[in-house]
Amino acid sequence: MIRDCVPEDAARVCAIYNYYIEESTATFEEQVLTEAAMLDRIIAIQTQFPWLVIEEEGHVLGYAYASVWKDRSAYRYACEVSVYIAKEASGRGLGVQLYETLCERLSAMSMHTVIGIVSLPNEASVRLHERLGFVQVAHLREVGVKFGRRLDVGYWQRLLHAAE
């Protein structure tokens, strides 16, 4: 089941994300978050955009949300999207389900462009974005450093509405 994130989900969402902070280059954050810090993020995002979770038998297995792309008013119809799936639930298509639902919600809000930012290399994330119609529009070399490695970042973009 996909639904809006609620405050009671913050601990599980935090645990999912902290795995990626500690074990992965999928996020460039390097310090784990507290449940309170995650709850603050969820609440702040939800003032403007959806934050969704996917659950099975009452257990949150992943989440996706949108956030401001840039703060200038001309960018008001563009947003950044992110998805994280619990390690034990990866490879089951949950990210696809979350992103599809998120994009439907964003389209209903009149968002026009969604942008996914992927640390590279990350074959699974690239496949996910491209499966859902995102197109790579940029590749920035060595813009991040994590675990002593310089990392590239790719930008994938999807237009939600046909050109007007």
Which domains, ranges and CATH numbers included, belong to the chain? 2-159 (3.40.630.30)
pLDDT tens for 81-121 read 999 999 999 989 999 999 999 999 999 999 999 999 999 99
Q: pLDDT grade, residue 154 (50/70/90)?
A: very high
What is residue 4's three-state secondary structure?
A: strand
Do the Cβ atoms of 54 and 90 come closer than 8 Å?
A: no
What pTM does this model have?
Answer: 0.95
- Placement of tokens 């995102």 in the chain: 134
pLDDT score at 161: 83
Say how many C-beta atoms besides its own lie within 10 A of residue 110's C-beta.
10
Average pLDDT over every residue of 31-36? 97
Q: Give buried/exposed letters for 118-138 (b at 16+ CB in 10 A, else e).
A: bbbebeebbebbeebebeeee
Q: pLDDT grade, residue 77 (50/70/90)?
A: very high
Q: pLDDT grade, residue 163 (50/70/90)?
A: low
pLDDT at 56 over 70: yes
Share of the chain above pLDDT 90, in %: 96
What is the strand order of the sheet 78-85 is part of? 2-4, 51-56, 59-68, 78-85, 113-120, 149-159, 135-146
